[in-house]
Amino acid sequence: MNPKVEDETTSLRTSPLQANGRWGVAAVPLPLLLWLLTLLIWLPWLGNLPLRDWDEALVAGVSRSTTSQPAWDWLLAIKNSESIYLNKPPGLHWLIGSSIKRFGEDEWAVRLLPTLLSSLAVPLIVLLRRQLRNGPGTERSALCSGLILMTFLPMARHGRLAMLDGTLVSCSLLMISGWISSKRIPWLGLMAGLGGSGLLLLKPPALIGYLAMIGLVTLLERDSTRQRSSLFWAISGLVPGIFWHVWHLGQRGSDALVMWGGQGFGRVTEVVGENSGAWIMPLTEVLEGGWPWILLLPSGLHWAWRHRKTSTGLWELGLLLGSALMVLPLRTQLPWYSHLLWAPIALLCGESLASLLRDGRPHWVSKAWQWIGAILLAATAALWASNSKMELPITTIVAAGLGLLVGGIGVAGPKQLQRQRGLAILITGWSIGLIALWHSQLWLWELNEVWDSRPVAAVIRSLPQDGLVMLDGDTRPSLNWYAKRSVKEFDSNPRREFWLVSEHSREGCKIATETPATDGWTLWHCYPSGQP
C-alpha cells in the first residue's frame, strides 16, 4: 500500500505517494487549478467602469504620483504629485504604479495587480485547510472552502477593485497558513513573516490583531511539537516590513505615526466622517453578500464546536472570533471592512458543504437553494412578461437561478456522485451570473450615487498647466485622477482667474467653452470681482 500523506513530513501533501515517490497528479495542482478558475471568473471586463470614489481613485492617484518620482523616492508615498501621503504605506501603490507605467492609465491596468493578489486568497485558503488536517475528508473540505471563497460576491467584487482589502486577505492567509505549516517544517515560518510584512505595508494596525489572534490560538492548541526555529523564521520574514516603518519614522518623524493612530487604531474609538455603524454594518454586509453559502454557516459553526478540541476546530473558531473582534468594534465602518470575515466564514461553510456532499446533510440547505432558484426564475419571468425594468441583468438572474434550482436538486440526490455533479452545476451557474454582472456595468453600484467626473475632467486636461481649478463640493479623487492634476477646494475669494467645477453659476463666471454637464455639474470660467 502506498504511504499516506499524513505519514510524510510536509504539510502540503494530501494524497497518496506514487511508487516513484511523486505526488498523485489529481491532488497537487488543486490550488493552482482553483486559482486559474478564480482568474477566469474575476478578470473579465475589469476596466469597463471608471475608478470609483472611495478609495480606488485615491489609491490610483497616490500610485501614479509615487512611482513618477525617481526610483529611490518611491519609498515615500505622495499624493497629487506634491503633498505627502500618510494614510497608508505604499506597498500596493508601488505595484499599481508599476502597472500604470507598463500598461498605461486604463482602468484595467490600475485594477490588474490588486485583482491578481486578491485572487491568491483562494489557493491560500485551500493550503491552509490542508494543513489543518482532520481525517480523510481534508481534501474535500479544502476544495469546498476554496470554491466558496471564490464565489462570494463581495470577495470577488472588492477583489477586482484597486483597493487594499483583497490583498490584505491574501497576506493574512499567507501569514496564518505559513505559521501553521511551520509546526512541521520550521522554515515555512518565513512565509508567515512575509505575510506579516505584507500587512505592515498595507494596513499596519491589522498586524497587531492577527498576531494576537495567532498567538492566542497557538497557546490554546498546546502543541509541544512546534520548534523555536519557527519563530526565528517568522521574525525574519517580518524584517522588510519593520525596516520600512523604522526608516519611514526617521524620514517623517511623528507624521509617520498617522497610519497607526488616526488612520489606524483611532477608528476603534472615533468616527471618521459619517462612516459610523459599529457592529451593525459588518453583519449587514455578511447577511447581504454571503449568498448562497451563508445558509451553511450554522452547521459549519456546529461542526467546528464539536471539533473544538482538535487543531482544525480550534483554528477555525479562533479565526472567526478573532476577525470579528477586529472588525465589529470599529466605530468607523465602511462596507469593505467586513472583507476580513469572508475567509473564516468560507472555512466554516466549507466544512458544512463537505458534509453535505458526503452524507447529504443538512438536507434543508439544498431544499432552500431550490426554492431560492425557483423564486428567482419565476420573478424574472414575471418581470419580463410585464415589460418591467429589471435592475440586474437578466443573464445574471437566470444563470444564478438555474444554478441554484438544478444544482440544488442534484445536491439533494441520494448518491454522492449526484451531489457532486449538483454542486458543479450550482458553482457554474453562480459563476456565469457573476461574469454577466461584470459585463452589465452594474457591478460598481456605488457609481450611481455620485456624478461622473470624466466629462468635466476631460475639459480640465486641456486647460493651461498653471491654471487654478477648484471644486465647489465634496472632494473627488476621481476628478483629480482623470483630470491629471490636483483640483483645489473652493476658495470664495480667489485673487486671480480660475476655473470652478460646480452645480451653480456664480457672479463673474460663465460656462467654459464646450463643457458638458453631468447631473448639473459643469466647469465654469471665472474672474475675481471687478475683473472681466
Closest CA to 296 of 352, 223, 342: 352
Could you tell me if residue 43 is inside a domain?
A: yes
Same domain, 517 and 459: yes
Closest CA to 55 of 201, 165, 198, 172: 165
The torsion angles phi and psi of 204, rounded to 5 degrees, stand at -55, -40
Would you say residue 19 has pLDDT above 70? no
Mean pLDDT in residue range 159-163: 94
Last residue of a domain, one of 354, 386, 414: 354
Same domain, 344 and 402: no
Same domain, 296 and 412: no
Mean pLDDT in residue range 108-121: 97
Same domain, 442 and 455: no
Cα Rg of the chain, angstroms: 25
**pLDDT tens for residues 262-300?**
666 666 666 665 555 667 888 888 899 999 999 999 999
Q: List Cβ neighbours of 16 (8 Å cut-off, separation of 6 or more).
A: 2, 3, 4, 5, 24
* DSSP letter, residue 17: B
* Residue 278 confidence (pLDDT): 66
Last residue of a domain, one of 354, 385, 413: 354
Would you say residue 34 has pLDDT above 50? yes
Same domain, 220 and 323: yes
Q: How far apart are CA 433 and CA 454, in angstroms?
A: 29
Q: Return the C-alpha cell found at 14.
A: 494530501
DSSP 385-423: HTT---SS-HHHHHHHHHHHHHHHHHHTSSSHHHHHHHH
Average pLDDT of the chain, as a whole number = 86
Q: Which residue has the cell 492548541?
A: 221
Mean pLDDT in residue range 480-488: 89
* Confidence band of 307 (pLDDT split at 50, 70, 90): very high
Would you say residue 423 has pLDDT above 50? yes
Last residue of a domain, one of 337, 354, 371: 354
Q: How far apart are CA 56 and CA 477, in angstroms?
A: 8
Closest CA to 49 of 155, 157, 154: 157
Could you tell me if residue 114 is inside a domain?
A: yes
Q: How far apart are CA 473 and CA 459, in angstroms?
A: 18
Higher pLDDT, residue 517 or 136: 136
* Confidence band of 531 (pLDDT split at 50, 70, 90): low
Would you say residue 15 has pLDDT above 60? no
Could you tell me if residue 318 is inside a domain?
A: yes
Same domain, 115 and 190: yes
Q: Of the ranges 47-51, 259-263, 348-352, 394-398, which one carries the lowest mean pLDDT score?
A: 259-263
Mean pLDDT in residue range 80-86: 77
Apex 216 CA angle, 214 and 222, nearest 5: 105
Mean pLDDT in residue range 324-343: 84
Would you say residue 409 has pLDDT above 80? yes
Give the number of domains in the chain: 3
Would you say residue 4 has pLDDT above 50? no
| Cβ proximity of 341 and 321 under 8 Å | no
Q: List Cβ neighbours of 218 (8 Å cut-off, separation of 6 or more).
A: 179, 226
Find how far residue 515's CA is from the centre of its chain. Answer: 37
**pLDDT tens for residues 353-367?**
999 999 988 899 999
Higher pLDDT, residue 401 or 269: 401
Same domain, 114 and 221: yes
Measured distance between the N- and C-terminal CA atoms of the chain, rounded to whole angstroms: 94
Q: How big, in percent rounded to 5, are the helix, strand and coil portions of the chain?
A: 60, 5, 35
Q: How far apart are CA 60 and CA 447, in angstroms?
A: 16
Q: How far apart are CA 220 and CA 211, in angstroms?
A: 14
Apex 262 CA angle, 259 and 264, nearest 5: 55
Would you say residue 18 has pLDDT above 80? no
**Percentage of the chain with pLDDT > 90?**
53
* Confidence band of 21 (pLDDT split at 50, 70, 90): very low
DSSP 163-179: SSHHHHHHHHHHHHHHH
* Confidence band of 26 (pLDDT split at 50, 70, 90): very low
Q: How far apart are CA 173 and CA 194, in angstroms?
A: 11
Could you tell me if residue 133 is inside a domain?
A: yes
Same domain, 377 and 474: no
Same domain, 242 and 180: yes
Could you tell me if residue 123 is inside a domain?
A: yes
Could you tell me if residue 3 is inside a domain?
A: no
* Confidence band of 3 (pLDDT split at 50, 70, 90): very low
Would you say residue 350 has pLDDT above 80? yes
CB-side exposure of 430: number of CA atoms within 13 Å?
Answer: 26
Give the structural domain span for 391. Answer: 360-446
**pLDDT tens for residues 123-150?**
999 999 999 886 788 999 999 999 999 9
Q: List Cβ neighbours of 374 (8 Å cut-off, separation of 6 or more).
A: 401, 405
Apex 430 CA angle, 427 and 434, nearest 5: 130
Could you tell me if residue 18 is inside a domain?
A: no
CA distances from 83 to 76, 79, 486, 495 (A): 11, 5, 10, 23
| 54 prior amide bond cis, ω within 30 | yes
* Residue 383 confidence (pLDDT): 82
* Residue 386 confidence (pLDDT): 79
* DSSP letter, residue 262: I
Mean pLDDT in residue range 478-504: 85
* Residue 6 confidence (pLDDT): 36
Same domain, 330 and 378: no
* Confidence band of 73 (pLDDT split at 50, 70, 90): confident
Could you tell me if residue 9 is inside a domain?
A: no
Q: How far apart are CA 316 and CA 307, in angstroms?
A: 10
Q: Return the C-alpha cell found at 294.
A: 451563508
| Burial zone of 22 (CB within 10 Å; 0-12 exposed, 13-18 middle, 19+ buried) | exposed
Q: Of the ranges 105-119, 191-205, 257-271, 328-342, which one carries the lowest mean pLDDT score?
A: 257-271
Same domain, 441 and 458: no
Neighbouring CB atoms inside 10 A of 441's CB total 12
Q: How far apart are CA 251 and CA 258, in angstroms?
A: 14
Same domain, 36 and 104: yes
Neighbouring CB atoms inside 10 A of 134's CB total 16
Would you say residue 201 has pLDDT above 70? yes
Q: Which residue has the cell 453562480?
A: 430
